[in-house]
Amino acid sequence: MATLVICEKNNAAQRVATFLSKGKYSKTYLNRVQVFRFPWEGTECLVVGLRGHILNLDYPKDFKNWNIDDLRAMVATPPLKIATAPWILNVIRDLAKQVDTVIVATDFDREGELIGAEAVSVMGLRPDVVVRRARFSALTGPEIYRAFENLIDLDHNLAKAAETRQIVDLAWGAVLTRFMSTATGKLGADFLSVGRVQSPTLAVVVDREKEIETFQPVPFWEIIADLEKKRHFFAKHSHGLFWEKSEADQVFTKVKDCKLAKVEDSKVEEGMERPPPPFSTTLFLAEASRIGFSAARAMSVAESLYNDGLISYPRTDNTVYPPTLPIKSILGKLAKSEFAKEVNEILAQEKLHPSRGSKQTTDHPPIHPVDAATRENLKGDGWKIYELVVRRFLATLAPAAAVLRSEAVFDICGERFIAHGHETLDRGWQAYYPYIKFTDVFIPEFTVGETINVVNIRGREGKTEPPKRFTQGTLIRDMEKLGLGTKSTRHEIVQKLFDRGYVQGSQIRPTASGRAIIIALEDNAEQIARTEMTSKLEEDMTLIAEGRKDQESVVAESQEMLSKSLDILMAHRENIKEEVNEALRNQNQIGICPKCGTGSLVMRRSKRGKRFIACNAYPDCENTYPLPQFGTILAHESLCKKCGGPQVKMVMNRRKPTDVCLDINCKANKDRLKKYKKAKEAGKARYAKAAKAPEKGAAKEVKAKGKAKKSVKSGDEGAK
């Protein structure tokens, strides 16, 4: 007999096969599915990669048409499991007949455990077949060898937690989305998405925007002395901010003409600034956001690096390196890369003392590099994310930064002023992590009792500022604090808000439709937009994973919550319809019509469902513009820089928003088309070059990939 190893994806399957076979495997295709074969442990080993979930949850065909009267029945109807990749399912069923052992080697988390459990459940295994689990945190040789030498049981509680999330989220998303869309008449491509985690997250953004809009700035004043001893520096009045102008004026009048400052006190002390903690998923996404990555893009790149065996598993809450992590071995690999200088400096320390964060878990270590890569091989986003992970790893192993903190107190005409200084003596970890900028503040050394020159006394008036808008990184950080989503889903939720056109901008702002949905929910069914109910269900799913709660009770609890929420929504249906549609009408207004100057440009749909922009002064003004038929179209706050005409912002799934001028003859549109054609030709040239490459059967590989893509497409259509 034989052993069948199930991996989550094909590239992971190839890496596992490469390590277990020492590179001596054969590759065959069954129904266009790659199977890696080799002798192992005295038996034949077959390694197959899935494509994530091969089963998906969906409702019976009775609910295919969106009907608001069906929603109460939908709440209580259990979903069906439908094969999303039937050709893969058939292959693993056939292979299962030939084996006496099945090893699940999917990613080790809730989703990975469910993917493996799903595969096992559809194989039709004989009772005597043994099922085991290989648990690893990186697709490297040592990790794979260790995992297969220490096989464990499949964690059915972990899989049940993931399955419960699927059931709960499907019900909430389907019922609430259908209610909102049918109640407002927004069906088809214009449907309005509402979800269990998505809506409370959107509410967090909307509530922050309300805070900003209603913020009342409060004026304040401060008094600053410009002093001189060898160099200029400044000191501030010890009172800090003055909230009454008369009080500030009184002090300013007293000191404005003073020429000398007497040193009353001076303190200088050395201090240490600890290195940052290792990367959890949340910390990683926050830092990636700071260097310009969307959360979804950063995670996508990180997953590619993981599958290529360059970094560890990127979904983790852990911020403490386990004692078993081979830190010196990893540094040894990095010493052969362009980070050699930094690595050798760190290895020169007498002992390594890694920094620690506040969260310690046992599923996966913090995100860290596991192998060396080159800038030439990765390029672009791949290199940027890899370098971020490497530099964070090096920073966590580097010594603390040594700083000199100084404080001096001055008497200026009877008023106390304080100066603070900060000087870096040894950059320590800061030298390895250039993503945070540090600025030293100079003040000289002083002797108590000495006097120095006052160059100028000045007053500064300011106003308190509203809270800052979220970036994707800070929003994900708040989601974690509020218990919204998990490390594996938060970036997907944020991306969905962008894809739906509910939020926009690097400094995240809600759009009119996003705001309308939340305000309608807060006015009529507040609990759906609040975090408490969602975080309670998240806690329940954690209890399922720990074996302290069962799936049936959590699903029943969720159904009860959803049923009550639906009753409230139904009772306020008309109010919701009016509020949302009014906001959508406002959002669909693009701006003043440049042709007539009086009408407004609004988005319309033709009888065939094609969307376009037209002047609402029709028939007096017949000005129209074509629109892309895919993606979300949002109003743009400014005119086209090329031609001065109106433009819109187009939001495509998992892409950066694009500014699109409505004038098809605008040079901006012609430049965009030229760039697209150039990229397309470059892609064709790369494909042709790969097809002709003789080494390692590259032409066959390209052909096989083409067939695989075809089979995926036909499989999706079959599933539908």
Task: Compute the distance between CA of residue 452 and CA of residue 263 in angstroms, rounded to an integer.
Answer: 8
Task: Compute the distance between CA of residue 278 and CA of residue 710 in angstroms, rounded to an integer.
Answer: 41
DSSP 277: P
Tokens of 281: 């998923």
Could you identify the residue written with the tokens 């400014």?
638
Query: Do you find a cis peptide bond into 626, omega within 30 degrees of 0?
Result: no
Task: Compute the distance between CA of residue 490 and CA of residue 484 in angstroms, rounded to an integer.
Answer: 8
Print burial letters for 54-93: b (CB count within 10 Å at least 16), e (below 16).
Answer: bbbbbbeeebeebeeebbeebbebebebebbbebbbebbe
3-class SS of residue 665: coil
DSSP per-residue string spanning 381-434:
HHHHHHHHHHHHHHHHHSPPEEEEEEEEEEEETTEEEEEEEEEEEE-GGGGG-T
Could you identify the residue written with the tokens 């889903």?
489
Conformation bin of residue 41: beta by default, left when phi > 0, alpha when psi is -120 to 50: left
Query: What is the identity of the amino acid at 520?
Result: A
DSSP 311: B
- The answer to whether the CB of 279 falls within 8 A of the CB of 368 is yes
Given 25, 306, 313, 321, the catalytic residue: 313
Tokens of 136: 């690893």
Print burial letters for 156-194: b (CB count within 10 Å at least 16), e (below 16).
Answer: ebbbbbbbbbbbbbbbbbbbbbbbbbbbbebeeeebbbb
Concerning whether 432 is annotated as a catalytic residue, the answer is no
**Residue closest to 192 by CA, chosen among 182, 181, 203:** 181
Task: Compute the distance between CA of residue 205 and CA of residue 207 in angstroms, rounded to an integer.
Answer: 6
Q: In the chain, helix, strand, coil percent, each to 5?
A: 45, 20, 35
Which residues belong to the active site? 313
